[in-house]
Chain A
Amino acid sequence: MNLHYEIPSDDLAHAGEASSSVKKMLVQLGIDPVRIKKAAVSMYEAEINAVIHGGGGSAEVTIDSDKIVIRIIDNGPGIADLELAMQEGYTTASDDIREMGFGAGMGLPNMKRYADELDIQTRPDKGTIVTIVVYFHQ
């Protein structure tokens, strides 16, 4: 099954709708709740990052019998130093963003923790593609 979602830019009120919809789908499919949580949390973190750092983008999700593959794509500024960005607590989020509940510098470390596989392709001024894989039986 292939799903496509647009991720609106700078609209934190609606951010997370794609992740919410994917989560509902996985519940309907009867996937193990522990696996669903891994997929939902990592996708949600990536979706929020696309909104607050990437200027919006899109999500391409493929669900098959043994796994879910989630690609979050944005055309934003890219991540200058990925190794640094992966560290717990590292953030460039503004105070405005923090007032809206984000900017702990925990999103990428959370993705790493919850995803079975995480791949990040990023180029300065070209954007970022985050690929998350979660297996349903493991």
Chain B
Amino acid sequence: MKLHEIAKILDAEILACSDSDIEIMSACGSDLMSDVMAFVKENVLLLTGLVSPQVIRTAEMMDIRAVVFVRGKVPGQNIIDMASEKGIAVMATCEPMFIACGKLYSAGLTGKGV
């Protein structure tokens, strides 16, 4: 699933993005970063309700190229700048975590085929 399709499904605002054609194969939703780092799939989208520079750091270490902030949380400019610098796409959606994950899963982002 392409990043721009994900943005559309979640009605998300794109805050940083160098390439909306990035192909996403699986997704991980968590507010705890070590849970994210325990997730071993490739081409991962991270959904989180945590707004912190550590979200971008975690994405950086894990080679995660796209992050969605859920529940209407909007990251500060420092977080957006940090992500842009590292080539990590950032989006924000008003959907809560469960609904955001559910919508993507129903649309076919099931994490299979990796």
Q: Is the CB of B34 within 8 A of A13?
A: no
- Chain B residue with minimal CB distance to A105? B34
- Tell me, yes or no, whether A45 is within 8 Å of chain B by CB: yes
Of B30, B34, B53, which is within 8 A of A110 by CB?
A: B34
Q: Is the CB of A101 within 8 A of B63?
A: no
Q: What is the 8 Å Cβ interface bit string for chain B, positions 33-70, against chain A (1 contact, 0 not)?
A: 11101100000000010101111011011110000000
Q: Which B residues touch A29, using CB under 8 A?
A: none
Q: Which A residues touch B53, using CB under 8 A?
A: 13
Q: What is the 8 Å Cβ interface bit string for chain A, positions 88-131, against chain B (1 contact, 0 not)?
A: 00000000001011111111011001000000000000000000
Q: Is the CB of B61 within 8 A of A41?
A: yes
Number of interface residues of A (CB under 8 A): 26
Of B38, B50, B52, B60, which is within 8 A of A106 by CB?
A: B38
In the bound complex, what is the Cα–Cα distance between A19 and B57 (angstroms)?
9
- Tell me, yes or no, whether A53 is within 8 Å of chain B by CB: no
Q: Is the CB of B61 within 8 A of A44?
A: yes
Of A13, A16, A33, A113, which is within 8 A of B63 by CB?
A: A33
Q: Is the CB of A101 within 8 A of B38?
A: no
Given A23-B61, A44-B61, also A100-B54 (CB < 8 A): yes
Q: Which A residues touch B31, using CB under 8 A?
A: 101
- Tell me, yes or no, whether A20 is within 8 Å of chain B by CB: yes
Number of interface residues of B (CB under 8 A): 20
Q: Which B residues touch A15, using CB under 8 A?
A: 54, 57
- Tell me, yes or no, whether A67 is within 8 Å of chain B by CB: no
Among A12, A20, A113: residue with most chain B CB under 10 A: A20
Question: Closest CB of chain B to A115's CB: distance in Å?
Answer: 12
- Chain A residue with minimal CB distance to B51? A101
Q: Is the CB of A102 within 8 A of B62?
A: no
Q: Is the CB of B61 within 8 A of A100?
A: no
- Tell me, yes or no, whether A40 is within 8 Å of chain B by CB: yes
Q: Is the CB of B35 within 8 A of A104?
A: yes
Q: Which A residues touch B63, using CB under 8 A?
A: 33, 37
7 additional contacts (CB under 8 A) given A20-B61, A45-B34, A100-B54 = A12-B54, A16-B57, A37-B61, A48-B54, A101-B55, A103-B32, A107-B34
Query: Which residues from chain A sit less than 8 Å from chain B, CB to CB?
Result: 12-13, 15-16, 19-20, 23, 33, 37, 40-41, 44-45, 48, 98, 100-107, 109-110, 113
